[in-house]
Amino acid sequence: MRQYFKVGMTLALICAVAATALAFVNHVTKEKIATYEESVVLDAYSEVSAGFTVGELIVPTDEMVSEYHPLTDSSGNVSGYIVMLNANGYGGEMTIMASYGIDGEVLGAKLLGNSETPGLGKKAESKTYMEKFVGTGSVGPIPVKKSELSKADAESIGGATVTFSGIAKALAYGSDYVKNLGVK
């Protein structure tokens, strides 16, 4: 009985030391991680803004849209919107930043937060992956099925159909959302 108590106390001590070390590391790195995540979002704004000026943050009451910003041209006219979209992929929740013209055309998109499978769904983080959506949404619909893509684009999403579907449906929702916003 004494031996079990000794082993139990040893394990409890090891757990306490490990928990303390993890708490310390979290405290030390918390600000650096927050700064890094903020810089990723700021870089994404400049990447998807399509040369327009990004306006004030607006937080809607919508489940799929967590925020949006008007995009203005050099004359100060609203020419589109950057929309932060919530989607579901194979690995769970994804965050997508996309820019749209006021007619709902996708100007640019970037996958931000995600837990997709490395080598498959993670391909969606590349700029070339998102290019298949650019220019769609106003005249032509956003492709939401693999069969709506060119052969080369369909092959590029091989093994990551759930990721593609989640991104495509979110971008289509964002296009409709922006069309409903119009010019504000």
Highest mean pLDDT among 4-18, 126-140, 156-170: 4-18
pLDDT tens, 59-105? 988 889 999 999 999 898 999 999 999 998 888 898 999 999 999 99
Question: Is pLDDT of 114 > 80?
Answer: no
Question: Is pLDDT of 182 > 70?
Answer: no
Tokens of 115: 């837990």
Residue-wise DSSP of 107-132: EEEEE-S--PPTTTGGGGGSHHHHTT
This prediction's pTM: 0.79
* Phi and psi, residue 62, nearest 5°: -135, 140
Give pLDDT, residue 91.
Answer: 83
Domain spans, the chain = 52-181
| Chain mean pLDDT for the chain | 86
Distances (CA, A) of 52 to 7, 47, 49, 108, 132: 64, 11, 6, 12, 21
76: left (phi over 0), alpha (psi -120 to 50) or beta: left
The C-alpha atoms of residue 45 and residue 42 are separated, in whole angstroms, by 5
Q: How confident is the model at residue 43 (pLDDT cuts 50, 70, 90)?
A: confident
* Phi and psi, residue 25, nearest 5°: -60, -40
The C-alpha atoms of residue 148 and residue 125 are separated, in whole angstroms, by 21
Q: What is the largest CA-CA distance in the chain?
A: 81
Percent above pLDDT 70 for the chain: 92
